[in-house]
Structure 1
Amino acid sequence: MYTLCRKCSFCGSDIKTARTLFRINYSMDKATELDQGYVPHKVETLGLGYNYFKPPPKHENKFSLVLPPPNITGTLHLGHALTATVQDVLVRWKQMQGFETSWVPGIDHAGIATQVVVEKRLWKESRQSRHNIGREAFHKKVWEWKEEKAEVIGEQLRRLNVSLDWEREVFTMDEKRSAAVQEAFIKLFEAGLIYRADQLVNWSCVLQSAISDIEVEHLSINGPTDILVPGYETPVKFGILTRFAYKVHERDDEVVVATTRPETIFGDVAIAVHPEDERYSKLVGSYLWHPFRNEKIPVISDSFVDRDFGTGAVKITPGHDHADFDAGKRHSLPVLQVIDESGRLTVSCGQFQGLRRFEARKIVLAELGRLGLLRGSHDHQMILPICSRSKDVIELLARPQWFINCSDMAARALDDVEKGRLTIVPSRFEKTWHGWLENIRDWCISRQLWWGHQIPAYSCQVRNEPEKKVWVAAKNQQEACRKASRQLDAGEDDVIATQDEDVLDTWFSSALQPFSSFGWPEATEDLSKHYPLSMMETGHDILFFWVARMVMLGTQLTGRLPFDKVLLHGVVCDAHGRKMSKSVGNVVAPEDVIRGITLEGMEKISKASFTSGVLTDDELNRAIQGQRKMFPEGIPECGSDALRFTLLSHNIKNHFINFDVNECYTNKLFCNKIWQATKFTRLWFTNVSNEQELSAVQVKDLGLMDKWILSRLTFMVDTVNRGLENFDFYVATTSLKNFLYYEFCDVYLETTKSGLRNAKEPGAVSHCWTLCTSLDTSLRALAPFMPVLSHHLHHHLPEFPGRGKRFDFPQDLDFREEEIERDVEESQRVVVAIRRLKKIFNVTFKHKPSVTILTSSSSMHNYSDAIQDLAGCHSLTVSNESIPAAYSTSVKDVVGVSTIHLQVPEDVLKHLQADLPKMNMKKEKLLKELEKLNEIVSAASYKINVGVERQDGNSKKISTIQEKLTRIEYILDLIQR
């Protein structure tokens, strides 16, 4: 067999040839027996990359998706696996329904993130920065990184067995996407929506670049906290609110203000108070003396001031705070930048110029003390903005940047949701949508990086007339000169055009993905056929940063919404609900679950991250300790199908999704259960049935248990379809597992064994027909979730005479018989009760267990054989008569209208009766232990002060004690009844 990728890894053939060879080989293999058990890597080697359940399109309906492009910063994590699995399930489901589908894969160049990781690697390998090797050589390094990571990401996606249209694969910096980015920028610029201005941006002094809001982490600080800031040898203390005074000019009075950033005092241009604050009303319009700049600054009134916070007077520093910047605009105040791009004080700070910002803090405080202006300090809760890439403390700086005016586009996007043209699932995120777009700021799209789309904007001036300047957007320098010459009223040859060195925010090119993937701005056949997309599915954490921007730019540039539905999923966390982090050691890579990995293998990967500069020495040690604690035995091989099924067994609409490797391994065992059921069906199909008999089977003539399982099959198919329609994948997976694992394997299959042994009886053929029908239908329903296992087993199913194989998705079955379901449900409760009695009293088959059921149920007699088989009884009697005297040594239980009597050996009963005092003592001891544990976990501070693992341990102890108590109470009740 063949492992399929772009090139077949086995034979080197291209994908098309390899698929042909695969089909031929599978055809030859059709008659072979299934292996003894399910081994994931064996099956996946056989079926990787081949879409077995893909019938030809039945109608003109289309279904198109774009996979959110993973960043080339590294490898895929479980969040990517969830996204790919959700979309793959939807695509496969639509394919099986006869839709023509298009699912575009892609990779994002991830400007800042990629530049950071490549710089780290460069420094680790050669102790060089990008500036040491130059822009061209650095670009070459990044492209090498891209090729390396793109190959790994592609292989990871293929291991997940997703049915992406690989021939459509895009990269956000490939030639066609670059052309789309240029066209989009130029159109927006010429529509007056893109402009250049000095505004405040999130600035990373380490990266020397503006960064987007999504790349800013907000660290909550409760009082004095030491934080390690890149470039500083010792930690910097945050969480202190310092008060100091401004003296009123030419008066013996002062105004006290409070700040967490004394170093920004050099940029103070006013003091603001609330208009209705009587404490300061007489000072409004007067001036204060700036202690360092030796100049006057005004006292202004503005309603944005919170008069109950601090002293009620606020220092206004427009160059380094958003609220102050807006206040400065309202009051026509100057903007002083007192901290530069490298985090040092500027020339505006006089003698303090050149000091690093947090070193300047100490010096400023000392100087204020010397001047007698300090008025004390106290602990303060605050939010500290941190660059997620560099861990630097963000500085707000006013720099010349490119912005998109988003107000009109945001208003349209709001209206689209309000009018129902765009649906967001779950609907609770509509509130988030409104919150962001109603308060939207203009989007800063320029980045001071080397990696990314260089902004297609040119600063143009007339030769020998430098005062005549203009910015134009153009595809190249020649076009820029042509456009500028018309605006500057100069000859084209007299214009000098210089392209801006900055690059575009990565989210700009990503926002074009729904239409650039199909060839926009060219009017391609693909674009008219597959755009707009059928829907967009992604994580809720990028609803604004990506989804809203796709909606805004898509509508603006194409005149149409890029999709009319958005499905959002939660963030994947570890089994304890913690965010996955390499430095914590709780990261689970998809391929490690699929193929398994030892603890040593996990540590090796962490050490490789340290070697490449991704982890620090401290983070490496923490990661290894975390791995040893969470995965002492490593991760067992589970296979891609079990991983996919586990991911979708959770409600993806929840805010967080806790992933447990143990649950994944359980689903691997579920796969084996289906495998064994298929082997069983093949075996008896061969031994029992023939074409003529199978063709003659009528549903109305089937046995009760046959009809029951077909009725449950109908219910399962309806539930799965409903779950898929509503994107409640957990509903679908729960129904599939309940049907296949419990109803089909544990119940129905067991009831067929005695009937199948009598091959000449009509019931045996009926069982074979029902087994095959159930498996054929349920494997097709399972196929979108577990494509490889379903493919492999369905391929090995016997074919029905004259009907052949079906590959469509099952729906609208008509086998439902609810009365039979109720009767079987009643009989199953009896089976559970018999099993429970046998277990409690340790009655095994060697005791030849005898059971009598006294019941007023009219249907219980019809299921006596099934009850006997499932309960493992040597003999079973269902009667409406009173209990015979011979049953004096029996124990009983009551289920509904049925009383169950199980004969128990006399020695067992005597032993249990003798143990009654001990059992009562044990019960009292357990009750005291349970009371003590409940007291601990119900304490108000328990969830705050006790670690997650300890909490889990206590929960397990409580469950164990409760289970023991239930068993003791049950025995006591039965014996004393």
Structure 2
Amino acid sequence: MSEEKKNLSTTYDPSQVEEKWYDYWMENNHFHAEANEEKEAFTIMMPPPNVTGQLHIGHALTMTFQDILTRWKRMQGYEALWLPGTDHASIATEVKVVNKMREEEGVSKEEVGREGFLERAWKWKEEYGGRITKQLRKLGVSCDWDRERFTMDEGCNEAVKEAFVQLYEKGLIYQGDYIVNWCPECMTTLSDVEVEHEDKPGKLYHIRYNIKDSDDYIVVATTRPETLLGDSGVAVNPDDERYEDIIAKKVIVPVVNREIEIVADDYVDSEFGTGLVKVTPAHDPNDFEIGERHDLEIIKVIGDDAIMTKEAGKYEGLDRYECRQQLIDDLKSAGLLEKIEEHDHSVGQCYRCDTTIEPLVSKQWFVAMEELAKPAIEAVRNKDINFVPERFSKVYFNWMENIRDWCISRQLWWGHQIPVWYCQDCDEVIVRTEDPTECPKCSSTNLKQDEDVLDTWFSSGLWPFSTLGWPEENEDLKYFYPTDVLVTGRDIIFFWVARMIFMALECKGEIPFKDIYIHGLVRDAEGRKMSKSLGNGIDPIEVIDQFGTDTLRFTLITGNTPGNDIRYREERVEASRNFANKLWNASRFVLMNLEDFDLEDVDYSTLEYTLADQWIISRLNKKINQVTKLLEEYQFGQVSQELYDFVWREFCDWYIELVKPRLYQNDNQVARQTAQYVTWFVLDNILRLLHPFMPFITEEIWQYLSAEEEESLMVSYWPEVDNLSVNHKAEAKMEVVMELIRSIRNIRNEMKVNPGKKITAILTSESDEKLTIVEEGKDYIADLANIEDLTITKEVEDRPEQASTAITNEVEIILPLAGMVDINKEIIRLEEEIEKMESEIKRAVGKLSNKGFVDNAPDHLVEEEKRKKDEYTAKKEQLEERLNSLKSIN
């Protein structure tokens, strides 16, 4: 190994490594993938983050999983494509641009017009959008940046128009008046999954409705009294005997004095409120359906801006909540408000601005979902597509089997403008992928395009194939599609996952991906969801700047199980940093001992493998097999634990210590070269196994360790199992030896023997097999347990009178105390320790006997005192046992 490659710096500094290697990988085009018939393709599509977004801890988790899979498959020899991109995020982006225009120019989007607004929006996107993709590079993502896509780029736009026209021509897209979720702040419709429901304290208002031509009245309970201004009926369950005699009668809407009919409908829950439901078809989705069944009038009394309309009569112009208060006052004055009850209920909020949504009847574009849902359900049910973990398929089925038609139009300007034109002369509706120049019916050129844009999820639903060139059937689409795995959080199964499945099956006739790996959320140390309001969010970039990318990545996957949330704790980050430092220091030691080692000079026929060599090579091969299998099962957290244990405990703590004497042995070149080769071989494979998880530190070390002609670890090979090197006997033998070393070290520790002091030891056993193992491993035992005089025998003729003993694996350990410890001094030390424990026990018992403390102190402090008392008691018993043992032999 050359001089310039052998020496790592004394400490690992991520800031000196990460940017350097990312730039190197980019410059050498290592992330790029091309259709290659000589290789099998592996494809992942990046869930496109919002162009307005910035990297948060959830993004970091998702991207780390994808990068692990991509780097692993690339090393396995696949043509691995991880295609990146961003989503135009209609609502979020429009809000940002509108605010910027208002703050900097003092104008609204209406004042500058659609063209002027879009010009500003694209300029904003180029200037500020895509910040997250720059941040992703710091995370080490190995996606093919040459193929980066945007949901509004030319190719994706063509795909969107093609999909719309196909669905329309099949009768699966239609326009109609329907109840929609409306955000009065964003001034657009929202799909059901874009509405976040939150339980909030509210009130239940019991209001009298007089029965026409009668002195009788009914009482209706509602949480939204302002909507009664748009009532067109009252509904009752037909099986409710209390009201069977009033069905079909007329009642008078309070204040409005409009006559409406009482109808019978199975939807009504007789147990809720009074069992009577006011029906306002224009402002409630369930009321809308009741109204459709009974042909009730639709009266819109709340406008798009949440201001009462002229249909609200004297309340016109009031905000919906102002109207509520004034109406309640009027009902009280008229003696029509029976009572008000406190009532917690679910309130729909806009997922973007938290404004309470308003259900409104509106003319919108819809996708008819019944026909599209069926094949999408079957694809998962028959395992063409697999959820990991499988339990999330139930969530998917529940939503898909109860799906409503999808409202796809949005009252925005930023987005894919709906490819529909209306002839202003003959009212012909024209739906085409290309802009029409004249009406096909009357030849008029007086055409106007629909002003609405499509729901953002319409374009992202096409993402797996639109990004590869669909609707054109090119080589990339044939080679890389369908993709292999989708990695995403459970919170967008409805938003995105389901839509990709049914859109792919409809437009492409194929599934979009084979597996869907669902991961949980990253929560704070207390298990709370991270949010701005709590101020408990974690900025991944700050973590990277402090600890390094590899540390963050390893932290996020450690302890992670499919589908389950993880807690972000500072101590876990520190543990990952310590692991990186452990790997660095061990590698530095290895490299320092490979100064005269050259792989080309190794004569494998002359190598003499010791028990330790056979053991570590066997353990390595088992680990390769285990890690590969666990990655195939998406068990990232278990992989990280297996690698951590192997690297830290088996390689660093055991093998490096076991091999040191031979590395230092200049008088036996065969032994030294064997030790060098095995150490090099194991470290090389460790770096390969760790690379997908910790790409930067492994690349840096590997460049010092590798042969000169090899270019980069990330494009080298993934380790393969050599079954001939799996040696169960060597592992069993080594376990006996290591257990003996542990036991001797434990005794030394208990006896407070100076770690540098050499001792005498006798190992005895009636088992010839165990004695043979001990004999084979005697040098390891003597070296690692710091023994200068080691006796291995079947029978002990002169057993020392003063000795500490233990038995492990049928081998008795006898450590003569003479020369190891001063028994009298140790007795005095133990007596002093016992006194300390007794004092601590007395103190704890005193606190726990104090009623004031037990009754008034926080529960966790009381429990802490109980724990301390038990701990001190147990330690005292151990010290007393040790003291009695010493006194008996003194």
TM-score, length of structure 1 as denominator length = 0.83
Q: How does 1:635-654 map to 2 (within 5 A)?
A: 638-654=547-563
**What amino acid sits opposite 1:909 in the alignment?**
I
- Distance in structure 2 (CA, Å) of the matches to 1:286 and 1:963: 77
- Summarize deviations over 1:894-923 as a string: whole Å, max 9, x none: 545344455332212322035434424534
Please, which moves more after superposition, 296-305 or 793-802? 793-802
The 3-state SS of whatever aligns with 1:568 is strand
Question: Which residue is equivalent to 1:164?
Answer: 143
Q: How does 1:617-628 map to 2 (within 5 A)?
A: none
Question: Which residue is equivalent to 1:284?
Answer: 247
Q: How does 1:365-764 map to 2 (within 5 A)?
A: 365-462=328-425, 468-479=426-437, 481-483=438-440, 485=441, 490=442, 492=443, 494=444, 496-596=446-546, 638-687=547-596, 692=601, 694-698=603-607, 701-761=608-668, 762-764=670-672
Question: Which residue is equivalent to 1:309?
Answer: 272
Q: How does 1:184-195 map to 2 (within 5 A)?
A: 184-195=163-174
Question: Which residue is equivalent to 2:698?
Answer: 790
The 3-state SS of whatever aligns with 1:845 is coil
| Unpaired stretches in structure 2, ≥5 consecutive residues | 886-890
Q: Does 1:823 align with 2:733?
A: yes
The 3-state SS of whatever aligns with 1:452 is coil
Change (3 A) 1:962 1:559: farther
**What amino acid sits opposite 2:592 in the alignment?**
L
Change (3 A) 1:54 1:509: closer
**Counterpart selection for 1:771 from 679, 701, 714:** 679
**What amino acid sits opposite 2:430 in the alignment?**
V
Following TM superposition, by how much is the alpha carbon of 1:840 offset from its aligned partner in structure 2, in angstroms? Answer: 3.9
- Checking the alignment, whether the CA contact within 8 Å between 2:32 and 2:143 is kept in structure 1 is no
Q: How does 1:108-187 map to 2 (within 5 A)?
A: 108-123=87-102, 125=104, 129-131=108-110, 133-187=112-166
Q: Does 1:863 align with 2:749?
A: no
- Distance in structure 1 (CA, Å) of the matches to 2:167 and 2:397: 24
- Summarize deviations over 1:639-668 as a string: whole Å, max 9, x none: 112222222223251332222343223222
- Distance in structure 2 (CA, Å) of the matches to 1:728 and 1:785: 13
The 3-state SS of whatever aligns with 1:781 is helix
Following TM superposition, by how much is the alpha carbon of 1:681 offset from its aligned partner in structure 2, in angstroms? Answer: 1.8
Question: Which residue is equivalent to 2:70?
Answer: 91
Question: Which residue is equivalent to 1:908?
Answer: 826
Change (3 A) 1:848 1:85: same
Q: How does 1:910-925 map to 2 (within 5 A)?
A: 910-923=828-841
- Distance in structure 1 (CA, Å) of the matches to 2:369 and 2:19: 49
Following TM superposition, by how much is the alpha carbon of 1:847 offset from its aligned partner in structure 2, in angstroms? Answer: 4.6
- Distance in structure 2 (CA, Å) of the matches to 1:55 and 1:392: 44
Q: Does 1:975 align with 2:889?
A: no
Change (3 A) 1:398 1:471: same
The 3-state SS of whatever aligns with 1:31 is helix
- Checking the alignment, whether the CA contact within 8 Å between 1:49 and 1:161 is kept in structure 2 is no
- Distance in structure 2 (CA, Å) of the matches to 1:572 and 1:65: 22
- Checking the alignment, whether the CA contact within 8 Å between 1:49 and 1:158 is kept in structure 2 is no
**What amino acid sits opposite 1:333 in the alignment?**
L
Please, which moves more after superposition, 924-933 or 534-543? 924-933
- Checking the alignment, whether the CA contact within 8 Å between 1:320 and 1:337 is kept in structure 2 is yes
Question: Which residue is equivalent to 1:844?
Answer: 754
- Distance in structure 1 (CA, Å) of the matches to 2:446 and 2:274: 55
**What amino acid sits opposite 2:822 in the alignment?**
P
> Identity across aligned pairs (percent)?
36
- Distance in structure 2 (CA, Å) of the matches to 1:459 and 1:970: 90
- Distance in structure 2 (CA, Å) of the matches to 1:960 and 1:809: 49
Following TM superposition, by how much is the alpha carbon of 1:470 offset from its aligned partner in structure 2, in angstroms? Answer: 3.1
Change (3 A) 1:521 1:955: farther
- Checking the alignment, whether the CA contact within 8 Å between 1:452 and 1:503 is kept in structure 2 is yes
- Checking the alignment, whether the CA contact within 8 Å between 2:31 and 2:144 is kept in structure 1 is no
Following TM superposition, by how much is the alpha carbon of 1:580 offset from its aligned partner in structure 2, in angstroms? Answer: 2.0
Question: Which residue is equivalent to 1:22?
Answer: none
Question: Which residue is equivalent to 1:74?
Answer: 53
Q: Does 1:44 align with 2:18?
A: yes
The 3-state SS of whatever aligns with 2:298 is coil
- Checking the alignment, whether the CA contact within 8 Å between 2:156 and 2:467 is kept in structure 1 is yes
- Distance in structure 1 (CA, Å) of the matches to 2:540 and 2:698: 20
- Distance in structure 1 (CA, Å) of the matches to 2:336 and 2:788: 95
- Distance in structure 2 (CA, Å) of the matches to 1:173 and 1:288: 53
Change (3 A) 1:976 1:497: farther
Question: Which residue is equivalent to 1:350?
Answer: 313
- Distance in structure 1 (CA, Å) of the matches to 2:774 and 2:709: 36
Following TM superposition, by how much is the alpha carbon of 1:724 offset from its aligned partner in structure 2, in angstroms? Answer: 0.7
Please, which moves more after superposition, 670-679 or 346-355? 670-679
- Distance in structure 2 (CA, Å) of the matches to 1:932 and 1:747: 50
Change (3 A) 1:690 1:495: closer
- Distance in structure 2 (CA, Å) of the matches to 1:798 and 1:291: 85
The 3-state SS of whatever aligns with 1:382 is strand
The 3-state SS of whatever aligns with 1:731 is helix
**What amino acid sits opposite 1:296 in the alignment?**
E
Following TM superposition, by how much is the alpha carbon of 1:928 offset from its aligned partner in structure 2, in angstroms? Answer: 8.2
Change (3 A) 1:504 1:961: farther
- Summarize deviations over 1:218-248 as a string: whole Å, max 9, x none: 2122x4xxxxxxxxxxxxxxx1111111111
- Summarize deviations over 1:28-67 as a string: whole Å, max 9, x none: 9963622112111112133114449999989431111211
Change (3 A) 1:824 1:119: farther
| Unpaired stretches in structure 1, ≥5 consecutive residues | 1-26, 224-238, 463-467, 597-637
- Distance in structure 1 (CA, Å) of the matches to 2:519 and 2:794: 55
- Distance in structure 2 (CA, Å) of the matches to 1:139 and 1:936: 67
Change (3 A) 1:114 1:800: closer
- Distance in structure 2 (CA, Å) of the matches to 1:517 and 1:299: 54
Following TM superposition, by how much is the alpha carbon of 1:409 offset from its aligned partner in structure 2, in angstroms? Answer: 0.7
The 3-state SS of whatever aligns with 2:123 is helix
**What amino acid sits opposite 1:807 in the alignment?**
S
The 3-state SS of whatever aligns with 2:436 is helix
- Distance in structure 1 (CA, Å) of the matches to 2:56 and 2:294: 49
Change (3 A) 1:691 1:446: closer
- Summarize deviations over 1:731-754 as a string: whole Å, max 9, x none: 211111111111000111011112
The 3-state SS of whatever aligns with 2:484 is coil
Question: Which residue is equivalent to 2:888?
Answer: none
- Summarize deviations over 1:1-28 as a string: whole Å, max 9, x none: xxxxxxxxxxxxxxxxxxxxxxxxxx99
- Distance in structure 1 (CA, Å) of the matches to 2:849 and 2:509: 66
**What amino acid sits opposite 1:43 in the alignment?**
V
- Distance in structure 1 (CA, Å) of the matches to 2:345 and 2:612: 66
Question: Which residue is equivalent to 2:261?
Answer: 298
- Distance in structure 2 (CA, Å) of the matches to 1:533 and 1:518: 10
- Distance in structure 2 (CA, Å) of the matches to 1:816 and 1:800: 29
RMSD of aligned Cα (Å): 3.3
- Distance in structure 2 (CA, Å) of the matches to 1:124 and 1:884: 94
Change (3 A) 1:576 1:285: same
- Summarize deviations over 1:606-652 as a string: whole Å, max 9, x none: xxxxxxxxxxxxxxxxxxxxxxxxxxxxxxxx211222222222325
- Checking the alignment, whether the CA contact within 8 Å between 1:685 and 1:798 is kept in structure 2 is no
- Summarize deviations over 1:877-906 as a string: whole Å, max 9, x none: 555445956452x44455453444553322
Q: Does 1:810 align with 2:724?
A: no
